[in-house]
Amino acid sequence: MHYTLVGNGRMGQQVRAIIEETEEHDVRAVLDVDADISPASFEGSDVIIDFTVRDAFLANLPAMLESGVPVVVGTTGWDAEMDSVRAKVKDAGASLMYSANFSLGVNIFLRTVREAARMISSFEQFDIAFSEEHHTQKADYPSGTALRAAEMILEANERKKSILADLPKDSKISPDQLQVSAIRLGSVFGKHTAHINSEFDDIVISQTARNRQGFAGGAVEAGKWLAGKHSRQPGFYTMDDFLDEMLG
């Protein structure tokens, strides 16, 4: 398969390295920040993988959709535009797959957290919160993965109604608020933790990334899956859709 990469930062470089290690795929082009991107930029490509920043992704989206090439997006920080992007994908008859984190380990972790949140929902003695740790160069806060975990917890646990990303200065946390905290430290690749507490127990579910290869490899596999899906049923997809199909 022929991949075009949009973005040549750390993740883009790691994705390129993963692709070039295989005999199955190749990198057709790498479009960096200075590239003049148009639909023609993606001719001959089977998949586009975007690891840029919010503003660049939104600016390049029309050209990527118009190209007709399926788009895998690992760029985060555009949750407020999610509905708009979904509509644009549908109107263009295109395919786009978004995940804040393409690591298979992370996505198994997220499903585990969702199930734990569901199980404690009926037991009021259990409270739940979420934390994440990343390197000091990470721009968004909380991370996209943490926000996705928080959304899944809210969906699974009816006692939690909203996300609290910053502690209030002069008031207590409401029982229906889900605290999501973030630490920026050195060169930490990424650590995500669900904290469950009662008077009698502490339950901790945690995932720690060792390097970026898991993220990059997952994005390449997602691209291969999306290309096949696009030929049958174009649309907006997530890692949940990918895992649902892979796991049967």
Which residues are identified as catalytic?
A: 134, 138
Nearest in space to 3 (alpha carbons), one of 35, 59, 42: 42
Q: Are 226 and 79 in contact (CB under 8 A)?
A: no
Distance CA 5, CA 14 (A): 11
- Taking CA atoms, 45 is separated from 2, 24, 37, 151, 238, in Å, by 5, 14, 14, 34, 21
Based on its alpha-carbon atoms, the radius of gyration of the chain, rounded to whole angstroms, reads 19
* Best CA proximity match to 11, nearest among 58, 49, 56: 49
C-alpha distance from residue 151 to each of 81, 237, 239 (Å): 16, 16, 14
**Nearest residue to 61 via CA among 98, 34, 26, 25:** 98
Is the CB of residue 25 less than 8 Å from the CB of residue 220?
A: yes
Residue 204 · residue 155 · CB < 8 Å? no
